[in-house]
Amino acid sequence: MHYTVLGSGAMGLRFGILLKQTGQQVDFVDDWDPQVEAIKKQGGVYVSRDGEGRHLENINIDYPEDYKGNPDAYIIMCKQMGLQEMLTRCAHFFKKGQYAITLMNGMGHIEKINQYFDPKYVIAGTAMIGTVLTKPGDVDFIGKKHAGSLHLVNQTEKPDDFTHQVVKEWAAAGTNPELTTNFIGTLLTKIIYNSVVNTLSSMFKLKQGQFIAADIAPTLVDKLVAEDYAVFDAAGIKPIQTKEEATELIYHETRDLTPNHYSSMFQDIRKNRPTEVDYINGYVYELGKKHGYNAVTHDFLRDVVHLAEHANNVLSKK
């Protein structure tokens, strides 16, 4: 199959390269000048795994205005804040019948993607794995080969032949995909995780394993997960995991799979970029507010993360 990655940051590179290594045709598109120029100059991207085995993977990358490919599917991996601009700049090469596959963090992206792709051509999902863009043109895959998990779901909740082929190819690439038929409930899997782990570890500049090792971590995890599920109950949404399963996933990921990983939210704070907290904890709060539940803890954490953004910006100038 022919894929084009829109948003060739850490996660976009990871999934695109893994698919390319199994023989799929993969193109890359990005709108961040340092990334595009570094990859063009190098003739590819340097890839490491847990900081070791750094080597050059040959890939082609274009700015949106320059891309001329005709893929079967786009893998959309932008930051929430930059998605609309990316889609606008890429719209000239979108064609009827092409699929959009997205594994983005947070919520708010599906509505934007539907401006260009009919729901019957949209596959969304959640990827439970860490990846770090150490610098432009240089990416570090966190975790051993075949580590992590991935849920995929059709927006229509009706898998078609194309979706089954995607699952087959992504399984061959070692991404461990699992196909579900609960659209919103599937996307909430990563919301629950990120609203706890990303937010708390980022504010205190902790690796995920360092966060979960704290004596206070179980109390914080239980409080936030309980509030997540109270909001979902108020909204009449059923996640694909029980509250207990979601809690266990947090412990498993942070202790066993990504203990040495800094969350993407912390990477944004460190680089003085806006985080996606409004699309994660903010989403939970706004959803609760819409259905008469005050998710006060998530609202508070959203504000504190914005304070952390400000603090890093101020202190980095000294």
**What is the Cα–Cα distance from 40 to 62, expressed in whole angstroms?**
9
pLDDT score, position 35: 97
Close Cβ partners of 149 (under 8 Å, ≥ 6 residues apart): 127, 128, 129, 176, 178
pLDDT for residue 63: 98
Looking at residue 129, what is its pLDDT? Answer: 86
pLDDT greater at residue 145 or residue 39: 39
Compute the average pLDDT of residues 142-164.
Answer: 93
Q: Is the pLDDT of residue 189 over 90?
A: yes
Does residue 80 carry a pLDDT above 90?
A: yes
Whether 264 and 299 share a structural domain: yes
Question: Domains in the chain: how many in total?
Answer: 2
CATH at residue 303:
1.10.1040.10
Residues above pLDDT 90, as percent of the chain: 93
156 with 225, same domain: the answer is no
Residues 111-144: pLDDT tens digits?
Answer: 999 999 999 999 999 998 889 999 999 999 988 8
pLDDT in tens, 222-265: 999 999 999 999 999 999 999 999 999 999 999 998 898 899 99
Last residue of a domain, one of 181, 202, 231: 181
What is d(CA 10, CA 269) in angstroms, rounded to the nearest whole number?
16
Q: 54: helix, coil or strand? A: strand
Q: Is the pLDDT of residue 318 over 70?
A: no
pLDDT cut 70: percent of the chain above it: 100
- Chosen domain end from 181, 198, 227: 181
Q: Say whether both 60 and 174 belong to one domain.
A: yes
> Residues 271-312: pLDDT tens digits?
999 999 999 999 999 999 999 999 999 999 999 999 999 999
Model confidence at 73: pLDDT above 70: yes
CA angle 31, 280, 120 (to 5 degrees): 65
Shared-domain flag, residues 294 and 243: yes
Kindly state whether residues 7 and 152 are assigned to the same domain: yes
Residue 5 banded pLDDT, cuts 50, 70, 90: very high
In single-letter form, the type of residue at position 142 comes to: I
Q: pLDDT digits over 158-182, tens only?
A: 999 999 999 999 999 999 999 999 9
Single residue among 181, 215, 234 that ends a domain in this structure: 181
Report pLDDT for 123: 98
Task: Provide the CATH number for the domain around residue 70.
Answer: 3.40.50.720
Q: What is the DSSP letter of 181?
A: S
Q: What's the domain range around 294? A: 186-315
Give the per-residue pLDDT at 3. Answer: 98
